[in-house]
Amino acid sequence: MTSVAVVTGASSGIGAATARRLAAEGFHVLAAARRTDRLADLVAEIAGAGGSATAVACDVTSDESVAGLAAAAAAAPGPVTLLVNNAGGARGLDPVETGSVGDWQWMYDVNVLGTLRVTQALLPALESSGAGTIVVVSSTAGFTVYEGGGGYAAAKHAQTAIAGTLRLELCGRPVRVVEIDPGMVKTDEFSLVRFDGDPDRAAAVYAGVPDPLVADDVADCIAWCATRPHHVNIDRLVVRPLAQAAQHKVHRVG
Ligand SMILES: NC(=O)c1ccc[n+]([C@@H]2O[C@H](COP(=O)([O-])OP(=O)(O)OC[C@H]3O[C@@H](n4cnc5c(N)ncnc54)[C@H](OP(=O)(O)O)[C@@H]3O)[C@@H](O)[C@H]2O)c1
Provide mean pLDDT across the span 200-224. Answer: 97
**How many CA atoms lie less than 13 Å away from 65 in the CB half-sphere?**
12
pLDDT over threshold 90, residue 1: no
Provide mean pLDDT across the span 72-93. Answer: 98
221 close to ligand 1 (CB < 6 Angstrom): no
33 close to ligand 1 (CB < 6 Angstrom): yes
Residues 6+ apart with CB under 8 A from 126: 80, 81, 82, 83, 132, 133, 134, 175
Asked whether the beta carbons of 13 and 190 are under 8 A apart, the reply is yes
Q: What is the mean pLDDT of the chain?
A: 98
Per-residue pLDDT tens for 103-160?
999 999 999 999 999 999 999 999 999 999 999 999 999 999 999 999 999 999 999 9
Q: Which amino acid is at 112?
A: V
Looking at the CA of residue 111, tell me the nearest atom of ligand 1: 45
Residue 86 CA to ligand 1 centre (angstroms): 6
112 close to ligand 1 (CB < 6 Angstrom): no
Distance spanning both ends of the chain, measured CA to CA: 52
- pTM recorded for the entire structure: 0.98
Q: Does the annotation count 146 as an active-site position?
A: no
Per-residue pLDDT tens for 185-208?
999 999 999 999 999 999 999 999
Model pLDDT, residue 254: 85
